[in-house]
Amino acid sequence: MAAVASSSSFYPNQTPTFLSPHPTVSHLFGISYSSSHKSSPGRLQLKVAATAKLVMDQKTQPSSLPTTVDVHLGDRSYPIYIGSGLLDQPHLLQRHVHGKRVLVVTNTKVAPLYLDKVIHALTVGNPNVSVESVILPDGEQYKNMETLMKVYDKAIESRLDRRCTFVALGGGVIGDMCGYAAASFLRGVNFIQIPTTVMAQVDSSVGGKTGVNHRLGKNLIGAFYQPQSVLIDTDTLNTLPERELASGFAEVIKYGLIRDAEFFAWQERNMDALMARDANALAYAIKRSCENKAEVVSLDEKESGLRATLNLGHTFGHAIETGCGYGEWLHGEAVAAGTVMAVDMSYRLGWIDKSVVERANKILKQAKLPTCPPENVTVDMFKSVMAVDKKVADGLLRLILLKGPLGSCVFTGDYDRKALDETLHAFCKS
Amino acid sequence: MAAVASSSSFYPNQTPTFLSPHPTVSHLFGISYSSSHKSSPGRLQLKVAATAKLVMDQKTQPSSLPTTVDVHLGDRSYPIYIGSGLLDQPHLLQRHVHGKRVLVVTNTKVAPLYLDKVIHALTVGNPNVSVESVILPDGEQYKNMETLMKVYDKAIESRLDRRCTFVALGGGVIGDMCGYAAASFLRGVNFIQIPTTVMAQVDSSVGGKTGVNHRLGKNLIGAFYQPQSVLIDTDTLNTLPERELASGFAEVIKYGLIRDAEFFAWQERNMDALMARDANALAYAIKRSCENKAEVVSLDEKESGLRATLNLGHTFGHAIETGCGYGEWLHGEAVAAGTVMAVDMSYRLGWIDKSVVERANKILKQAKLPTCPPENVTVDMFKSVMAVDKKVADGLLRLILLKGPLGSCVFTGDYDRKALDETLHAFCKS
């Protein structure tokens, strides 16, 4: 019944053969498989049972409908819609709007491209809804309290009330800031994520982490606050600058390294297609990433343990971002260099094989991502920023490190400090 | 078995006779009653069953233990400890500290009086805990984002991590700001309320409403975030200025008007004792107020309906506070004038008897609280501030108004606008 085929195409809706190493993902599309499967039949059986309802639902839907990944969080559950042309399907947005007033939060780069389209999608056939917008400056360096105040100002001056909806239209910075504004305006209003970068589509728009930076560290002020829905129109990636595209792949690669070896192997085979913006490859990578993220968030919303593993490379990465000034490096670029450092440290601890180090380095290079921190970031800068990381508990810095075969990791403060020191000195000046 | 006696003393721990109109309250203390009760036996029976466990617990405890009122919110439930000398019982604080690091947030007025005492209570016999403190300027005019940043700055510079505890030591402004800082620092850390004003002890420290003001309106930025515990040492009221004392009584009177006619009648008999700071009267008023608040919050944490009724007079009051500049009038003073306006409007709508208007006015005057807004606040100022009130929904201003016999109220947008206009014009210049 189920199998992994060996063609070089990506997206099951378009093709009956499918280069997925992960049967569950294919099942979500209700695809027919050939019988020559190579993955574990035992594991497969279990997953098929869990996704049976979805398979049947999909079979009754026309193919133009979006793929939906659900984040299961009790009464805070919500759908992630993924597909091409979703901004041309107004009902997907309108069904999640509360009240009659909407505030779209976006930035100077995204507004000229998609703001009108989003306002149209919110209002067409829906004359009772009025839409305000606030256009923020673009870049991580503006992800702070001062910029956030502009959102509150606009909301209050527009006399929005508790029955309003905020819409985040943009990348991770806009999503985090709009989400935090929604969490805190009148102690919480409804919000919808419309991520327009790979980074936001595969990671930051899903899971309810919102917040702003403090001059001394990233995301130190914020809230866990889930959106009402996430709408990913993959067409928005057509206008994404190359550097932003690659930055997002750092998080895609992360899912492979920490928990999904089959997805990692798929990426190794398809990174060139991803870099060339092959639509099917992108759609598959986004969906598979969202499934990984949704599963982790459903199990550990408030990051008491498991969820922290999604931060592979982020502690080193945050230090790079903070140390060289927000906005110099893109988040994913810093995470890429941070991932190499975390992998290096895992290897020094004897927790992974050399082959994992090599594969991680190779795929990051394929994605044209940096594999070491910038020259001006010193060991002391690393240590100083890492000391205020959110994963410090009672003074102990816990890290996400790989351990075991590719696809396995740990979140731990129980490691030899010498390995951390060696990694820091291997990658930067003292 | 149970009764309401007619002596003029207040606090059952000190006396076997008891001027309570509310048998449940007495039961919480495990007191023996005389047999000459006047309240409804039917109601009493029901309440006794509900508090039986508490009664038995109390009987096994020495009398120096605090009275405890529980706020029932599932896994976010917490105790309110009420009593004299509780800051001299370190275990009450220490049992609710998470981690080894504590940040006490207080102000310039309260710090010289109680900061050392609180630090001692946190650290005595507990050498692993270290305490930082941040001392903010005193007053509603500092309840803003700029002041809040000082709390984040201190927390980050002190390298506090997720396993830390914030302690709010002060009145409502400190509680709201410290609570919001705790809600948003690293997306949420543990916090404890130590309220030192009547206002904070009877109202703002309980129920998890946190936040700061925006220049255009009160509490427009914030979060619902529950404390780990509330510790009310009634001795802290000994140092409270008279105006602050009276301000707190506005909220005590509110509980009577909206939902507890017996408590209101008790207040009518005992307002002079409260104003004279009779310790037993104060302790009883605080406990009874906390019970009312805890019950409402348990039923409607996020203010979808019932909880809004706790804001009797607050929509008018917020307009006064915002209109004449934060800090000119104390919160309770504005609420008092706002309560008179809400009561006046309820009467104009034909929803209450003249006697309720008279009793409300009389008791507020007894508490030396204002019964009309300041002269410089105009009708237009009221309308402009009320338009951004959090209780506006889809453009409709909902108000808490009294309806029926004393102790009954409604939260509604369904009222004749003419009555609102008449009230505004009756109380202030156009």
Residue A97 contacts B where some CB pair is shorter than 8 Å:
no
Other Cβ atoms within 10 Å of B265 Cβ, number:
16
Other Cβ atoms within 10 Å of A206 Cβ, number:
28
* Separation in Å, CA of A207 to nearest CA in chain B: 13
- Asked if B331 is an active-site residue, the reply is yes
Question: Which pLDDT value is given to residue B216?
Answer: 84
Give me the half-sphere count of Cα atoms (radius 13 Å) on the Cβ side of residue B358: 3
Q: Answer whether residue B311 shows pLDDT above 60.
A: yes
Query: In sequence order, what are the residues at sequence separation of 6 or more whose Cβ sits closer than 8 angstroms to the Cβ of residue B340?
Result: B313, B360, B361, B364, B371, B372, B427
Q: Rounded to whole angstroms, what are the CA distances from B320 to A232, B56, B327, B377, B429?
A: 45, 47, 11, 7, 13
Q: Which of A219, A289, A299, A212 is nearest to A251 (CA)?
A: A289
DSSP B169: E
CA distance A308 to A297: 10
CA distance A150 to A44: 50
Residue B397 contacts A where some CB pair is shorter than 8 Å:
no
Of residues A391 and B411, more confidence is placed in B411
Contact flag A209-B187 (C-beta cutoff 8 Å): yes
Question: Which pLDDT value is given to residue B93?
Answer: 97
3-state DSSP assignment of residue B128: coil
Nearest CA in chain A to B101: A394
Mean pLDDT confidence for A415-420? 95
Partner residue facing A145 (CB), from B145, B161, B393: B145
- Asked if B318 is an active-site residue, the reply is yes
* Separation in Å, CA of A331 to nearest CA in chain B: 19
Question: Which pLDDT value is given to residue B429?
Answer: 83
Nearest CA in chain B to A164: B394
- Buried/exposed B178-202: b ≥16 CB within 10 Å, e otherwise: bbbbbbbbbbbbbbbbbbbbbbbbb
Torsion region of B187: left, alpha or beta (phi above 0 gives left; psi -120 to 50 gives alpha): left
* Separation in Å, CA of A391 to nearest CA in chain B: 7
Nearest CA in chain A to B301: A187
Chain length of chain B: 430
Question: Which pLDDT value is given to residue B11?
Answer: 37
Contact flag A392-B159 (C-beta cutoff 8 Å): yes
Contact flag B186-A149 (C-beta cutoff 8 Å): no
User: Taking a contact as any Cβ pair under 8 Å apart, which residues of chain B between 375 and 394 contact chain A?
Assistant: 387-388, 390-394
CA distance A199 to A245: 8
**pLDDT tens-digit readout, B347-376:** 999 999 999 999 999 999 999 999 999 998
β-strands B399-402, B409-412: how paired?
A: antiparallel
**pLDDT tens-digit readout, B16-56:** 333 333 333 333 232 222 333 333 333 323 232 323 333 33
Q: Which of B246, B201, B241, B238 is nearest to B117 (CA)?
A: B238
Interface probe, candidates A151, A187, A209, chain B, greatest B C-beta count within 10 A: A187
Contact flag A100-B145 (C-beta cutoff 8 Å): no
- Band of pLDDT at residue B390, cut at 50, 70 and 90: confident
Q: Which residue has the tokens 């020259």?
A: A375
Question: Which pLDDT value is given to residue A54?
Answer: 34
Partner residue facing B187 (CB), from A100, A224, A393: A224
Tokens of A64: 């133009």
**pLDDT tens-digit readout, A300-343:** 999 989 999 999 999 999 889 887 776 789 999 999 999 999 99
Residues in a beta bridge with B400: B411
- Asked if B307 is an active-site residue, the reply is yes
Catalytic residue, chosen from A27, A287, A314, A398, is: A314
- Asked if A37 is an active-site residue, the reply is no
**pLDDT tens-digit readout, B66-122:** 999 999 999 999 999 999 999 999 999 999 999 999 999 999 999 999 999 999 999
Of residues A418 and B386, more confidence is placed in A418
Angle of helix A331-348 relative to helix A314-323, nearest 10 degrees?
130
Q: Which residues of A touch B152 (CB under 8 A)?
A: 214, 220-221
Question: Which pLDDT value is given to residue B387?
Answer: 81
Residue A146 contacts B where some CB pair is shorter than 8 Å:
no
Catalytic residue, chosen from A318, A390, A391, A398, is: A318
Question: Which pLDDT value is given to residue A344?
Answer: 98
Residue B209 contacts A where some CB pair is shorter than 8 Å:
yes
Q: Answer whether residue B231 shows pLDDT above 50.
A: yes
Tokens of A321: 């971002």
- Band of pLDDT at residue A25, cut at 50, 70 and 90: very low
- Helix/strand/coil (H/E/C) assignment for every residue in B333-393: HHHHHHHHHHHHHHHHCCCCCHHHHHHHHHHHHHCCCCCCCCCCCCHHHHHHHHCCCCCEE
Query: In sequence order, what are the residues at sequence separation of 6 or more whose Cβ sits closer than 8 angstroms to the Cβ of residue A191?
Result: A165, A166, A167, A168, A178, A179, A182, A225, A227, A228
Tokens of A284: 């598959």
Interface probe, candidates A158, A161, A164, chain B, greatest B C-beta count within 10 A: A161
Partner residue facing B393 (CB), from A162, A211, A393: A162
- Band of pLDDT at residue B64, cut at 50, 70 and 90: low
- Asked if B209 is an active-site residue, the reply is yes
Q: Which residue has the tokens 């394929």?
A: A366
Q: Which residues of A touch B185 (CB under 8 A)?
A: 220-221
Q: Answer whether residue B400 shows pLDDT above 80.
A: yes
Residue B208 contacts A where some CB pair is shorter than 8 Å:
no
* Separation in Å, CA of B332 to nearest CA in chain A: 21
Interface probe, candidates B128, B221, B389, chain A, greatest A C-beta count within 10 A: B221
Question: Which pLDDT value is given to residue B392?
Answer: 78
Question: Which pLDDT value is given to residue A64?
Answer: 62
**To the nearest whole percent, how much of chain A has pLDDT over 70?**
85
The pTM of this model reads: 0.83
CA distance A266 to A19: 7
- Asked if B390 is an active-site residue, the reply is no
Q: Rounded to whole angstroms, what are the CA distances from B263 to A398, B266, B314?
A: 53, 5, 20
Q: Answer whether residue A184 shows pLDDT above 90.
A: yes
CA distance B161 to B178: 16
Query: In sequence order, what are the residues at sequence separation of 6 or more whose Cβ sits closer than 8 angstroms to the Cβ of residue B392?
Result: A159, A161, A162, B386, B398
- Asked if A311 is an active-site residue, the reply is yes
* Separation in Å, CA of A394 to nearest CA in chain B: 6
The CB-based long-range contact list for B108-117 (8 Å cut-off, 24+ gap) reads B108/B135, B108/B136, B108/B137, B108/B138, B109/B138, B109/B170, B110/B138, B110/B169, B110/B170, B110/B171, B110/B174, B110/B196, B111/B135, B111/B169, B113/B196, B113/B236, B113/B239, B114/B87, B114/B169, B114/B194, B114/B196, B114/B236, B115/B169, B117/B87
* Separation in Å, CA of B35 to nearest CA in chain A: 48
- Band of pLDDT at residue B12, cut at 50, 70 and 90: very low
**To the nearest whole percent, how much of chain B has pLDDT over 70?**
85
Angle of helix A279-299 relative to helix A242-259, nearest 10 degrees?
50
**pLDDT tens-digit readout, A349-368:** 999 999 999 999 999 999 99
Q: Answer whether residue A3 shows pLDDT above 90.
A: no
Torsion region of B208: left, alpha or beta (phi above 0 gives left; psi -120 to 50 gives alpha): left
Question: Which pLDDT value is given to residue A142?
Answer: 96
CA distance B162 to A222: 13
Give me the half-sphere count of Cα atoms (radius 13 Å) on the Cβ side of residue A173: 26
Summary mean pLDDT of chain B? 86
Task: Please give the distance of CA B219 from its chain centroid, rounded to a whole number.
Answer: 15
Worst-scoring range by mean pLDDT, A214-218, A249-253, A259-263, B255-259?
Answer: A214-218
Mean pLDDT confidence for A26-42? 31
**pLDDT tens-digit readout, A218-260:** 899 999 999 999 999 999 999 999 999 999 999 999 999 999 9
Residue A56 contacts B where some CB pair is shorter than 8 Å:
no
Worst-scoring range by mean pLDDT, A288-297, A362-371, B322-331?
Answer: B322-331
Give me the half-sphere count of Cα atoms (radius 13 Å) on the Cβ side of residue B282: 24
**pLDDT tens-digit readout, A150-174:** 999 999 999 999 999 999 999 999 9
Residues in a beta bridge with A190: A165
Question: Which pLDDT value is given to residue A146?
Answer: 96
Identity of residue B324: C
CA distance A411 to A415: 10
Catalytic residue, chosen from B270, B287, B311, B359, is: B311
- Buried/exposed A98-112: b ≥16 CB within 10 Å, e otherwise: bbbbbbbbbbebbbe
Residue A185 contacts B where some CB pair is shorter than 8 Å:
yes
**pLDDT tens-digit readout, B150-199:** 999 999 999 999 999 999 999 999 999 999 999 999 999 999 999 999 99
* Separation in Å, CA of B193 to nearest CA in chain A: 19
- Asked if A429 is an active-site residue, the reply is no
Question: Which pLDDT value is given to residue A2?
Answer: 35
User: Taking a contact as any Cβ pair under 8 Å apart, which residues of chain B between 215 and 234 contact chain A?
Assistant: 216-217, 219-224
Tokens of A232: 């990913």
Chain length of chain A: 430
Identity of residue B37: H
Question: Which pLDDT value is given to residue B6?
Answer: 33
Q: Answer whether residue A208 shows pLDDT above 90.
A: yes
Interface probe, candidates A148, A221, A224, chain B, greatest B C-beta count within 10 A: A221
Residue B53 contacts A where some CB pair is shorter than 8 Å:
no
Q: Rounded to whole angstroms, what are the CA distances from B399 to A48, A158, B289, B294, B314?
A: 53, 21, 22, 22, 9
Worst-scoring range by mean pLDDT, A29-38, B2-11, B214-223, B407-416?
Answer: A29-38
* Angle, CA of A294, A330 and A417, to the nearest 5°: 75
Q: Which residue has the tokens 């466990």?
A: B53
CA distance A41 to B398: 60
Nearest CA in chain B to A217: B156
Question: Which pLDDT value is given to residue B187?
Answer: 97
3-state DSSP assignment of residue B191: strand
* Separation in Å, CA of B55 to nearest CA in chain A: 36
Partner residue facing B152 (CB), from A184, A214, A223: A214
Contact flag A186-B220 (C-beta cutoff 8 Å): yes
Tokens of A384: 């100083």
